[in-house]
Amino acid sequence: MTDGSFYIVQLVPELSPNRVKLGWARNPALRLRQHKTSPPTARLVRSWPCRKSEESRVISALTRRGCQAISTEVFDATNLTTLLASADALLGECAVAKDERLLTVRDVAQRARVSEKTVRRWLREGKLHGRMLGGTKIGYRVLESDLQRFLLGPERREDQA
């Protein structure tokens, strides 16, 4: 169950449209009003259901590529549209929003008791459903339910034969 939202706020959209604050709040609209004491023209770009415990992992995943850190939660994004697309891919329909973990290739390999190379092959071949986030720097992510389906399904049994 989510207890709030992950949000992206443009701090000074008229001067620096790609300067954003990323974070988590129980109520992003209220949080935005709190931000407006320093940048009065700040605007909430988008928010997604998210658990507080996921905030730092989501920030790290979204800012590994195409973002320069200004402070802990403030970044200059190379391209705001790309950042939003990455956030949608990560948060829009996945683990954080469904209260389900998003697994790395290493996590999957450990649970399936195979090498990371094998997991990447399954992903490339489409045997295991996952998505590439932010290119090779962030890598593949797999929903926990997709891994469970794969481990119990015929694709896995064929691979072991």
Does the structure show a pLDDT above 80 at 82? yes
pLDDT value, residue 116: 94
pLDDT band per the 50, 70, 90 thresholds, residue 160 = low
Query: 111 and 83, same structural domain?
Result: no
Number of folded domains that form the chain: 2
Query: 92 and 107, same structural domain?
Result: no
Tell me which of 60, 81, 97 is where a domain ends.
Answer: 97
Which of 65-79, 88-102, 134-148 comes out lowest in average pLDDT?
88-102
* Phi-psi sector, 40: left (phi>0), alpha (psi -120 to 50), beta: alpha
Residues 62/90, Cβ–Cβ less than 8 Å: yes
Query: 68 and 84, same structural domain?
Result: yes
The residue type found at 155 is E
Tell me which of 97, 116, 151 is where a domain ends.
Answer: 97
Does the structure show a pLDDT above 50 at 56? yes
Phi first, then psi: what are they for 131, rounded to 5°? -140, 145
Note down the domain range covering 15: 4-97
pLDDT value, residue 137: 60
End-to-end CA distance of the chain: 39
Q: Please tell me whether the overall predicted TM-score, pTM, comes out greater than 0.85 for this model.
A: no
Q: What is the DSSP string of 44-95?
A: EEEEEEE-GGGHHHHHHHHHSSSEEESSSSEEEES-HHHHHHHHIIIIISSH
Query: 155 and 116, same structural domain?
Result: yes
pLDDT cut 90: percent of the chain above it: 31
pLDDT value, residue 106: 93
Query: 142: domain CATH number?
Result: 1.10.1660
Query: 8 and 80, same structural domain?
Result: yes
Phi first, then psi: what are they for 141, rounded to 5°? -135, 145
Q: Which residues contact 42 (CB under 8 A, 6 or more apart)?
A: 9, 10, 11, 12, 13, 21, 32, 35, 36
* DSSP code of residue 135: T
Residues 51/61, Cβ–Cβ less than 8 Å: no
For the record, the structure tokens of 55 come out as: 């905030």
What number is the average pLDDT over the span 146-151? 84
Query: 82 and 113, same structural domain?
Result: no
Tell me which of 47, 70, 97 is where a domain ends.
Answer: 97
pLDDT in tens, 115-132: 999 999 998 888 888 877
For the record, the structure tokens of 105 come out as: 């290739």
Query: 114 and 92, same structural domain?
Result: no
Query: 117 and 40, same structural domain?
Result: no
pLDDT in tens, 10-34: 998 999 999 999 999 988 888 888 7
